[in-house]
Structure formats: C-alpha cells, structure tokens
Amino acid sequence: MKMKYILASGSPRRKELLEFIISDYSCITANVDETCPTDIEPQNRPEYLALLKAREVAKNYKEDVVIGADTAVFSGQKMLGKPKNEKEAFNMLKSLSGKTHSVITGCAVVFGDRHISFSCKTDVEFFSLSDREINNYISSKEPMDKAGAYGIQGLGSLLVKGINGDYFNVVGLPVSLLNKKLKEFLD
C-alpha cells in the first residue's frame, strides 16, 4: 500500500515548497487554538504549534503521514506574529529595520502513534528602511498575512540585506531538513 501524506496547513507557500519533497499529498488545515502555555519559551512555540497542528489532523487520519509546520519571526526575545493592521505592520518593519532577526520554523511529522518534531532557525538582516520605504511596502498589502510583516519570496525580498541559514525556512518550510528528517523517521 502506498503511503499517503497530509500537510496540516493551508499556506500556499508551504504547499509549493512541500512539492520539492512529495508530489502527491493532501492539505487539511488544522483547527487549533494557537495560544501556547506560558511555560513554553517563545523560541520553542513554532515547534509546539507544528506538533499541535499535526496531531489534530492525525486524529482522523491514523494511516497517513501528517506534516505540520509553524513559522515565527523573532526580534530579540520578542515574537512577531502577523500584523493585525497597517500600523502594527509599520511598527514591526520599523523594529526590524537595519537589524538582524531570526525566523524559526517548527516542523512535526505524525504517523500512527509515533512522531518527531524539530526546529530550523535562519537569521535575516534588513537594510535600514526609511518610513517611506516601509509605507510603500505596506501599500502593496503583502505584509498583512505574514509573520513579521514581510514575505521574503515576494516584494519583501527588497528589504533583505542578507540571510544566514535556510532561505526556504524563512518562506515557511525548511525543505532540505524536513526531507532528511522525514526519511530518517520513515525508514
């Protein structure tokens, strides 16, 4: 019997990236409360949420391999989620301007009663941005559904001076690490 795969995400970026590893899979968005317990350190939240999402979907698909992922942007110890409005997007981008921040994607794989989870971290350096550059980017509407208020795979790439680590991790799925871990887990 051929193994079936499910991506526990509705993200178009993750769907596109997963196709580097698996060509035949389904997508089912996990319906979970993404509020983390207070005893979980901010840098561990993406991995916690990835496992939560994968387990939620796996409850109904015990014969399938379920992959969950969650990405967060960190400026120092502060976790930046998706901006609620343009003012919040402006403040996030202003806080990242001229600095290096971290992007952490947590991944989880659930199959039957077994699971693995891991995180990947990439450091991203922004150019110093003027208020005008930030407002022009916000007017594109691209930042509004992205953690940290930018998408490195789109116009947000123009804000980035450099990265240290996995580019695809910043987009939302560390494909090479996921591929390696998936093979180890399923062998």
- Active-site positions? 70
Q: Kindly tell me the burial class for residue 179, based on how many C-beta atoms sit within 10 Å of its own C-beta (0-12, 13-18, 19 or more).
A: middle
Closest CA to 7 of 180, 169, 172: 172
Report the half-sphere exposure of 76 (CA within 13 A, side-chain side): 4
Instruction: Quickly tell me which residue has 């580019």 as its tokens.
Output: 167
Phi/psi at 6 (nearest 5 deg)? -130, 130
Instruction: Quickly tell me which residue has 């983390």 as its tokens.
Output: 36
d(CA 118, CA 68): 11
Q: Are 144 and 82 in contact (CB under 8 A)?
A: yes
User: Which amino acid, one-letter code, is at 63?
Assistant: E
Closest CA to 9 of 95, 101, 100, 108: 108
